Amino acid sequence: MMLQIGDQFDRYQIRSHMAQGGMADIYRAYDLMSGREVVLKVPNQMMIGDPALYERFQRELEVTNNLQHPAVQRGLGSGQYNRTPYLVTEFVEGQALRQIIEKEAPLTPERAVDLTRKIAEGMAYCHEHDVIHRDLKPENVLVSKDGQPVILDFGLALTRSARRVTYANLTPTAGTPDYMSPEQIEGQRGDARSDIYAVGIMLYEMLCGCAPYSGDTAMAVMAQHVQGNAPRADQTRPGISLTLTAIIARCMQRNPDDRYQTMRALMHDLDHLDSVDTSVLNKAPRSAAAPFWRSQAFIAVVISALVMIAIVLFALAVQGLR
| CATH number of residue 69's parent domain | 3.30.200.20
According to the model, what pLDDT value does residue 172 have?
47
In a domain, 157, yes or no: yes
Please, what is the average pLDDT of the chain?
87
In a domain, 321, yes or no: no
| Lowest pLDDT segment from 60-64, 126-130, 161-165, 203-207 | 161-165
What is each CA distance from 132 to 126, 231, 243, in whole angstroms?
Answer: 7, 26, 27
pLDDT band at 57 (very low <50, low <70, confident <90, very high): confident
Q: What is the pLDDT of residues 237-252, one digit of tens each?
A: 999 999 999 999 999 9
Contact predicate 232/283, CB 8 Å: no
Q: Are residues 101 and 249 in the same domain?
A: yes
Q: Which listed residue (25, 50, 130, 135) is catalytic? A: 135
Model-level pTM greater than 0.85? no
- The 8-class DSSP code of residue 177 comes to G
Q: Are residues 109 and 218 in the same domain?
A: yes
In a domain, 307, yes or no: no
Position 310 pLDDT exceeds 90: no
Q: Are residues 40 and 65 in the same domain?
A: yes
Position 16 pLDDT exceeds 90: yes
**Burial tier of 220 (Cβ tally within 10 Å: 0-12, 13-18, 19+):** middle
Specify the 3-state DSSP secondary structure of 110.
helix
Q: Are residues 274 and 247 in the same domain?
A: yes
Position 279 pLDDT exceeds 50: yes
Position 259 pLDDT exceeds 50: yes
Give the integer Cα–Cα distance in Å for 34 and 271: 40
Specify the 3-state DSSP secondary structure of 39.
strand
Q: CA-based angle 284:119:88, to the nearest 5?
A: 130
Contact predicate 245/281, CB 8 Å: yes
In a domain, 316, yes or no: no
Last residue in a domain, options 75, 90, 105: 90
In a domain, 185, yes or no: yes
In a domain, 23, yes or no: yes
Q: Are residues 121 and 259 in the same domain?
A: yes
In a domain, 205, yes or no: yes
Q: Are residues 165 and 125 in the same domain?
A: yes
Q: What is the DSSP string of 280-299?
A: GGGSPPP--S--GGGSHHHH
Which residue, 237, 282, 254, is CA-closest to 112? 237
Q: Are residues 118 and 15 in the same domain?
A: no
**Strand 149-151 vs strand 158-159: parallel, antiparallel, or unpaired?**
unpaired
pLDDT band at 95 (very low <50, low <70, confident <90, very high): very high
Owning domain of residue 62: 8-90
Q: Are residues 38 and 101 in the same domain?
A: no
Last residue in a domain, options 90, 107, 124: 90
Amino acid at 240: I
Give the integer Cα–Cα distance in Å for 143 and 107: 14
Q: In the chain, count of helices (H) and strands (E)? A: 10, 11
Give the integer Cα–Cα distance in Å for 231 and 234: 9
Q: Are residues 114 and 151 in the same domain?
A: yes
Q: Are residues 113 and 49 in the same domain?
A: no
Which percentage of the chain shows pLDDT scores above 70? 81
Q: Domain total for the chain?
A: 2
The H or E element spanning position 75 is strand 75-81
Q: What is the pLDDT of residues 111-156, one digit of tens each?
A: 999 999 999 999 999 999 999 999 999 999 999 999 999 999 898 8
Q: Are residues 31 and 132 in the same domain?
A: no
Q: Are residues 107 and 47 in the same domain?
A: no
Q: What is the CATH number of the domain that holds 119?
A: 1.10.510.10
In a domain, 2, yes or no: no
**Alpha-helical segments (H) within 50-136:** 51-66, 97-104, 109-128
Please say if 135 is a catalytic residue.
yes
**Burial tier of 123 (Cβ tally within 10 Å: 0-12, 13-18, 19+):** buried
